[in-house]
Amino acid sequence: MNSIWELETFYRKREVIIIGAGFTGLWTAISIKEKYPEKSILIIERNSVPLGASMRNAGFACFGSLTEVIADAEKMGWDKTLQLVKMRFEGLKKIQSYFKNPEIDFELNGGYEILNNEGPLQKLDEVNQKLKIITGVEKTYFLHQQKITEFGLGKSEFLIENPLEGSLHSGKLLQQLLKKCYELKIEFLFGTEVESVAEGPNEIEVQLARDTSICCQQIIHCTNAFAPKFLEKEEIIPARGQIILTEPIENLKLKGTFHYDEGFYYFRNLGNRILLGGGRNQDFKTEETTAFETTVFLQNHLENFLKEVILPNQNIEIYLRWSGIMAMGSEKTPIVKQISDRQFCAVRLSGMGVALAPKIGEMVAEMI
C-alpha cells in the first residue's frame, strides 16, 4: 500500500494526464499549460528517459523531400499533402522561436535529395508553385548539380537542394522541452508504465504497477507506435528505423541533411561523422516491429550504401548502431482526435515527429 505522503503528492488527482514524454507529449503539455495555466498536468513515461522515436531518430529538421511530396500528393491529393507540409514547416519555425539554435545544435545547412532519374524534375515547377504559399519563397526546391562534386557524391545523377531545412540534436531538444515543462510546473513520473485506463462518468482511473492508480479528468495518449495497447481501433503500424554512425572522417565534405529513394534512406553530417539511417523498404515485414534491435541484414545493407553512395573508395569505421520506432499508416496524416468523453490521442507521426509535434500540441490544446 502507498503512504499518505505518496497519495497526497505524486499520486494525487490531476486534471490532465499525458501518457508518453516524447516530442508529442511534451509539446502537448506545453501548449495546454500556455492556454490553461491553472490546469494540473502529469506526464507518465514508462522509460527512464523519453525513448520511442524522439530520442532514437536521425535529428532531421525537415518538412519533406521533393519525391516524398510528389508521392504524397499522388496518394492523398494536394489538399492533405499541403496541410501536412504546412504543419511541419510551421512546427520547425516554432522550435526556432522557443529555443536558440546553439541550445539544440540547430543548423540550417539545407536539405538535399539525390535523384537518379529525371521523372521528379518534370514536377519541380508545379511543386514549387504549390509550396510558395507555405514557405514564402519562389523555389523551395531547385537543382544544384555542382554540389554533387563538392560533396563527393559522384554516383548521383541529380541533386535537389532545399535551403529551408536543417538538422538538430534530438537529445538536447528533449532536454530543453523538459526544462520548459518544469518551468511551467508540469509534473512527471518517469520509469512508470500505465497498465490500464478505466473511464467512468466523472473521472478516469489510470492504473499503474503495484496497486497504484491516479485519477484525472482527461487523458491524452501520446505513445505513437506503442499506442495500440490502448487504441486497438486505430491503424498504427510500427516501423523500425535502423541507424549507423561513423567514426570521425578526415576532411568530410558533406554538410546538410540528405534524402534518397523517397526518404527511405536519410543521412547527414554530425560534425565530422556521417549518420545514416533507413533502408526498411528492403525488409518491410521484419521492420514492422516495436523491438529496439538492429539486424545483421540491414546493418550490412546500410554499410554498403555508405561505401557505394556516400563515401565511395573510403575506408570507414562504424562507431555506433541503434534503432528507433516510428508509427506509420496507409497515409501520412497523423491521428489527432477525441476517442471518448475523456480520452484523446495524438499518434502516428510517420517519422516526422520533430517537425509535427509542436503544431499537434496546439491542436490537442484546442480540443480539450
pLDDT digit string, tens, across residues 167-216: 999 999 999 999 999 999 999 999 999 999 999 999 999 999 888 999 99
pLDDT recorded at residue 175: 97
Mean pLDDT computed over 297-308? 96
Spell out the long-range contacts of 170-174 with Cβ–Cβ below 8 A and sequence spacing 24 or more. Answer: 170/54, 170/55, 170/57, 170/59, 170/354, 171/55, 172/103, 172/104, 172/105, 173/23, 173/95, 173/99, 173/104, 173/354, 174/22, 174/23, 174/26, 174/49, 174/50, 174/54, 174/55
CB 118 within 8 A of CB 158: yes
pLDDT digit string, tens, across residues 265-295: 999 999 999 999 999 999 999 999 999 999 9
Indicate whether 113 pLDDT > 90: yes
Q: What percent of the chain has pLDDT over 70?
A: 100
Q: Is 19 left (phi over 0), alpha (psi -120 to 50) or beta?
A: beta
Q: How many CB atoms lie within 10 A of CB 270?
A: 16
Indicate whether 52 pLDDT > 90: no
Task: Count Cβ neighbours within 10 Å for each residue of 93-126 and write b for 16 or more, e otherwise.
Answer: ebbbebbeeeebbbbbbbbbbbbeeeebeebbee
Question: Which residue is associated with the grid cell 513520473?
Answer: 189
> Band of the pLDDT at 131, cuts 50, 70, 90?
very high
pLDDT recorded at residue 263: 82
Could you give the CA distance from residue 54 to residue 75 in angstroms, rounded to a whole number? 26
pLDDT recorded at residue 51: 83
Indicate whether 144 pLDDT > 90: yes
